[in-house]
Structure 1
Amino acid sequence: MNLRILFAVALVLPAQALPVFADVSAKDQQTNTEYMLVTGIQDRRNLALDEGSETGSRLNISLRDLPASVSVISQDMIQQFGARTAMEAVETAVGMIGGTGVGSIPGYSTRGFSSNDITILRDGVRQNTNSQSARPLDSFMFDRIEVLKGPASLLHGEGAVGGAINYVTKMPTKDFVGEALVSAGSWDNYRSAIGMGGPTALENLYYRADFSHNENGGYVHGSSESYDALGGSLLWEASNTARFTLSGSYFEDDVESYYGTPVVYDAVINSDGVQEVRPANTSTDTLVNPRIASGTRRLNYNNLDNFARAENGYGRFISDLILSDNWSLRNELYLATQKLDWRNTEKTVWNPLTEMVDRSSFFLIYRDDTQVGNRLDLR
């Protein structure tokens, strides 16, 4: 049994006040009943019921009044749960299940829907389909993650029949903030991240910058993972009625895939009950004396140069204009890119005739996607 050891140090500035409680004990003389009155400051940082959500509505309706099931996982909650990746953070929402499929593509399921039935968004912008754009992402890079459970096609287009997951980028703040995180664990697991933001030397110009690195050696040979991310943004408040935001992020991952250790067996029993010595048909055969050979527990039968390497970029230029007391205009120009290079062996089967492992389903995949769009909102 492997005992996982994890060491983490996190620093968040400025510090946020925690609830302070006081209690008063008393006794009701008439009924001879003791009671305790507890008073304090309610900590509502993680509820966010009075905040709006782009995932559930484009009208900035608060979660409290929104007639939809939307969960918001804030950065505070992400740190409290110890969620290292965006997928681990999404799984903290009730009813959400995540998993990593072929080529290290994260996928989600909820309420009976899965895969491309659940749309992935970046700051409210749809990112093609999961199989094209979803990659492992460090949760440190996001201000929050919003999860909409239920039909979302009206807002986010074809395919979002099961829900939508929105990764919301950290943006500039008018007050200085700083964050740092370092962690280490078993299987050569290391993670570090730093971020800061606040005012610049120029009047009415604010910034935000973040960096994260995450690596894992894997528990079998040839299954290492490495994730790097860099993000930055600038906010210029040109006047009381005009503000402009330029933001960009870059994510890079390098993953070696592991598809399991082949089961060793002596023979098979076919559908007629006859024992034969041949490779198994997993649909109809029963294995005779199936086992995992002790010498194969840490071996990876993928090809030696297996990998899935991806580079994802995302940039936005936002113009917010207040036209009057009742009207505002917002224009958002965005650019999303993805490069994926993937080589892999999918199938490994024990052959009792040769007492060796047969490998098949070798393939190469290369993608180079670019998505450009513009959204104009008049409220």
Structure 2
Amino acid sequence: MSRDKRVESLKVRRSQATPVSLALLVLSAQGALADDAVQSKPAVLSEVVVSDMSIDPLGLDQKQRTGSRLDLTPRETPASVTVIDREVFEQRGAQNTQEILRGVPGITSSAAPGSPGALFYRGFSGGSVTQLFNGITVQYDVIAARPVDSWIYDRVEAVGGPSSFLYGAGAVGGSINYITKLANRDGNLTEAKARYGSYNDSQLAAGTNQKLGESNYVRIDVNGTKIDGWSDGTERKAWQAAASWLADLTPQLSSTVALEYQYENVDQPYWGTPVLRPFVGEIGIDNRTRFKNYNSQDGLYKQTVKWGRWILDYRVDDTLRFRNTLYHYDALRDYQNVETYTFNANNSRVVRSNALLQRHDQDLNGNRLEANWNSEIGGLPSNWVAGLDYSVNKQTRYPLSIAGPFGSVNPTNFVTEPFFSLPGMTQTYNPDRTNRVQTLALFAENRTFLTQQLSLLTALRWDNIDLEVTNHRTPTATNPAYFEQRYKPLTGRAGLIYDLTPAANVYVQYSTAADPPAGILTTASFAQVQDFDLTTGRQVEVGSKLSFDEGRGSATLALYDITRKNLAMADPSRPGTTVPVGEQSSRGIELAATWLMTNNFRMSGNWSLVHAQFEEFVENVGGVAVSRAGNRPTNIPKQVGNLWLAYTPIPSLELGGDLRYVSSRYADTANTVSDADYTVLGAYATYTIDKRTRLTARIKNLTDTVYAESFSGSSMVYLGAPRMVDVSIQTAF
């Protein structure tokens, strides 16, 4: 077979649905947000009544807590705030948290095992995009925020751009908040779901909310999934359980205890696919390797996660409220994998290298106290929130790395070895270093109505961050036995929002953020933080939020300009050393809209355009300092668009489809290796058997497009899933 026939480029045929046409459709579908835990509506009703065309996917007038702690709606917040609730991600068939995030304008993601929680947002990635769990950051997002099955979650919220003033260091690109279902006061409801699809992809899930007596409410959700995996040898098993108890201790005081457990085991994880040489220009893959898995035959990823929260909510009166959240997080993650695969010079063999035995042992304990009160300033209505957050985050890593190489294999006909038969590999866990991050934060926000139409929102946060690192191995000059760094960033936001009409407004805001100079504080090495302060980031954003067609449609628009300074980069005069003087910027536009065009046809979607580049950045290439100024950061597309259509020809039947477009990205900071743009299509049909039971058939990646979720350097890509079909039934009683 000729090379031309064997090679399938990642280039996607340009369809008639170009990015311009997507923009004209003004894509997006965010969720109608439930209120906070104490006031939340029953998730079960929103999950089963999917054919209700009155649902508003943008939910501009539903309260949220991610863009502000003032209990504002997205319409009232001078920032790009997206809320996606169960009504929306159940309808779209989003099976995990990363699939849910396709509803946020501009976000792309990847679940590659080396960084399974990778998000790319507004031109930034890694530690510059904060991912929260119920408003709590574990400060290890690219690993800890790996995709979690969506059943236990009530909604996902996102705020674009710098938001360290809300959640602490690490949020130049934006913040994502995954919010778990909690016990509520809406009575007794029970729900269940079963799903089966391609590659033996199966799911069984159930949940119940029960009222016990006059003042106690309990909710329990359990979910289990299993899939053989589309990559040879891969098998994933996972289950999650979430339980909460809401008790009204007095008419003014309530207590919520919430526990959560997550377990995941992946045998022979798919780590990526080698790209064909030469590593220059637009990449291609040998189509015969699409489903091949070059990991050791007993490769492994395994994790257990435990969450505990105790929330006390005390309402003094209608003007004053206190909330205290005591929280605990514990995670244990294990890896044993051969992680790198590269074609040889003539693309006839695949060279395997970089074996890593790794364990992460992390725990986080903290307490957040906050107070909301309503008052006046000079006769002007004013809302306040202020609080204190204290946490201790400790992580120890146990790596054993062997570079190899471990020989080469035929690209299509091979057998890999048991992991512990690799030369030098033993099943021993010796600690490398322990990072302890202690954070004390004071924060405050205010909204003051200057006129009936004009409001001013301000926020400040001061952090006292103490990083202590203990080296458990032989000390050296570049890796001392112990070192400590302290950071005291002050970040904030100021925004104005003006109501043009009751249905439309415009806003402007300025916000700042602070990020680690390189890496993440919970894993930072001496070289990454030596003599470095946190980077500084700032954003200017203008936008508008409106409803139209007598409330049948909603839309949002945001334009932003972000600059991040003091990045760690190679010293131009001494390439082997690092200096914190780099600079990165991004400018972009985001559109989101939903429109109930007729009583039985809805169109929703989003579209984003971003120009991201290094303003100043020097890379050490073989001992030579090379400037990358003007280049685009890796894995950042210029355009991302999503479109969702839903049509109910008869009340009991809903037909729908979706389209996702992602433009090309670079694999390297030199911008010499890239993929092509791609488009992925999907379709579904839902039949409502009765008011509370529905049957759904769904196809994802309808055209079986070959595309990369992300690059792993210039020689490997992590491919997206092929065509997948599943059938599910969901009911409530």
TM-score interval for Structure 1 and Structure 2 normalised by the shorter chain: 0.7 to 0.9
Q: Does 1:95 align with 2:88?
A: no
Aligned to 1:237: 248
**Are residues 13 and 146 of structure 1, via their aligned partners in 2, closer, same or farther at CA, if it must alter by over 3 Å?**
closer
CA contact (8 A) 2:313 2:323 kept: yes
Q: Does 1:180 align with 2:186?
A: no
CA contact (8 A) 1:227 1:254 kept: yes
For residues 87 and 291 of structure 1, the distance between their equivalents in structure 2, rounded to whole angstroms, comes to 25
For residues 76 and 150 of structure 1, the distance between their equivalents in structure 2, rounded to whole angstroms, comes to 26
Aligned to 1:274: none
For residues 90 and 195 of structure 1, the distance between their equivalents in structure 2, rounded to whole angstroms, comes to 23
CA contact (8 A) 1:13 1:179 kept: no
Deviates more, 1:81-90 or 1:298-307: 298-307
Matches within 5 A, 1:145-224: 145-174=156-185, 175-200=187-212, 202-224=213-235
Structure 1 residue 143: Cα displacement:
0.6
2:123 to 104, 112, 116: 112
Higher relative contact order (CA 8 A, sep 6+): 2
Three-state SS of the structure 2 residue aligned to 1:343 is: strand
Q: Does 1:254 align with 2:247?
A: no
- Deviations along 1:90-147, one digit per CA (max 9) or x if unpaired, are 1122222111123461211122112221111111111212134212201111110001
For residues 68 and 286 of structure 2, the distance between their equivalents in structure 1, rounded to whole angstroms, comes to 51
Deviates more, 1:254-263 or 1:58-67: 254-263
Aligned to 2:387: none
Structure 1 residue 303: Cα displacement:
1.1
Q: Does 1:138 align with 2:149?
A: yes
For residues 193 and 130 of structure 2, the distance between their equivalents in structure 1, rounded to whole angstroms, comes to 30
- Deviations along 1:173-203, one digit per CA (max 9) or x if unpaired, are 2212222111111111111211110302x33
Q: Does 1:77 align with 2:70?
A: no
Structure 1 residue 49: Cα displacement:
2.4
Structure 1 residue 352: Cα displacement:
7.0
Q: Please tell me the root mean square deviation across aligned C-alpha atoms, in Å.
A: 2.8
Task: Give the residue type in structure 1 aligned to 2:294.
Answer: Y
**Are residues 117 and 297 of structure 1, via their aligned partners in 2, closer, same or farther at CA, if it must alter by over 3 Å?**
closer
- Deviations along 1:48-104, one digit per CA (max 9) or x if unpaired, are 322222111111112221111111110111110000001000112222211112346
For residues 177 and 104 of structure 1, the distance between their equivalents in structure 2, rounded to whole angstroms, comes to 38
1:50 to 30, 42, 61: 61
Aligned to 1:338: 331
For residues 166 and 82 of structure 1, the distance between their equivalents in structure 2, rounded to whole angstroms, comes to 19
- Deviations along 1:175-233, one digit per CA (max 9) or x if unpaired, are 12222111111111111211110302x33100110011122211232222222100000
**Are residues 17 and 183 of structure 1, via their aligned partners in 2, closer, same or farther at CA, if it must alter by over 3 Å?**
closer
Aligned to 1:67: 78
Deviates more, 1:113-122 or 1:72-81: 113-122
**Are residues 238 and 259 of structure 1, via their aligned partners in 2, closer, same or farther at CA, if it must alter by over 3 Å?**
closer
For residues 300 and 16 of structure 1, the distance between their equivalents in structure 2, rounded to whole angstroms, comes to 41
**Are residues 181 and 331 of structure 1, via their aligned partners in 2, closer, same or farther at CA, if it must alter by over 3 Å?**
same
Task: Give the residue type in structure 1 aligned to 2:161.
Answer: G
Task: Give the residue type in structure 1 aligned to 2:208.
Answer: M
Structure 1 residue 343: Cα displacement:
1.2
For residues 293 and 61 of structure 1, the distance between their equivalents in structure 2, rounded to whole angstroms, comes to 50
For residues 45 and 135 of structure 1, the distance between their equivalents in structure 2, rounded to whole angstroms, comes to 29
CA contact (8 A) 2:117 2:144 kept: no
Matches within 5 A, 1:12-51: 12=44, 16=49, 43-44=54-55, 46-51=57-62
CA contact (8 A) 2:115 2:143 kept: no
- Deviations along 1:133-175, one digit per CA (max 9) or x if unpaired, are 2122011111100011111111011110111110111111221
Q: Does 1:348 align with 2:341?
A: yes
CA contact (8 A) 2:315 2:321 kept: yes
For residues 122 and 293 of structure 1, the distance between their equivalents in structure 2, rounded to whole angstroms, comes to 39
2:294 to 301, 310, 313: 301
Structure 1 residue 350: Cα displacement:
4.0
CA contact (8 A) 1:236 1:244 kept: yes
Structure 1 residue 12: Cα displacement:
4.4
**Are residues 358 and 217 of structure 1, via their aligned partners in 2, closer, same or farther at CA, if it must alter by over 3 Å?**
same
CA contact (8 A) 1:104 1:136 kept: no
For residues 354 and 85 of structure 1, the distance between their equivalents in structure 2, rounded to whole angstroms, comes to 36
**Are residues 244 and 223 of structure 1, via their aligned partners in 2, closer, same or farther at CA, if it must alter by over 3 Å?**
same
Deviates more, 1:158-167 or 1:300-309: 300-309
**Are residues 304 and 329 of structure 1, via their aligned partners in 2, closer, same or farther at CA, if it must alter by over 3 Å?**
same
Aligned to 2:35: none
Structure 1 residue 252: Cα displacement:
1.0
Q: Does 1:329 align with 2:340?
A: no
For residues 159 and 318 of structure 1, the distance between their equivalents in structure 2, rounded to whole angstroms, comes to 25
CA contact (8 A) 2:115 2:142 kept: no
CA contact (8 A) 2:193 2:206 kept: yes
CA contact (8 A) 2:112 2:271 kept: no
Structure 1 residue 18: Cα displacement:
6.4
CA contact (8 A) 1:244 1:320 kept: yes
For residues 159 and 106 of structure 1, the distance between their equivalents in structure 2, rounded to whole angstroms, comes to 15
- Residue identity (%): 32
Three-state SS of the structure 2 residue aligned to 1:91 is: helix
CA contact (8 A) 1:103 1:342 kept: no
Structure (1 or 2) with the greater strand fraction: 2
CA contact (8 A) 1:342 1:366 kept: yes
Aligned to 1:313: 306
For residues 179 and 352 of structure 1, the distance between their equivalents in structure 2, rounded to whole angstroms, comes to 56
- Deviations along 1:303-361, one digit per CA (max 9) or x if unpaired, are 12211111111110011112233211111100011110011112223447996543211
Three-state SS of the structure 2 residue aligned to 1:88 is: helix
Three-state SS of the structure 2 residue aligned to 1:331 is: strand
Q: Which runs of 5+ in 1 are unaligned?
A: 1-10, 20-41, 265-279
Aligned to 2:678: none
CA contact (8 A) 2:230 2:291 kept: yes
**Are residues 116 and 263 of structure 1, via their aligned partners in 2, closer, same or farther at CA, if it must alter by over 3 Å?**
closer
Give the total of aligned pairs. Answer: 328
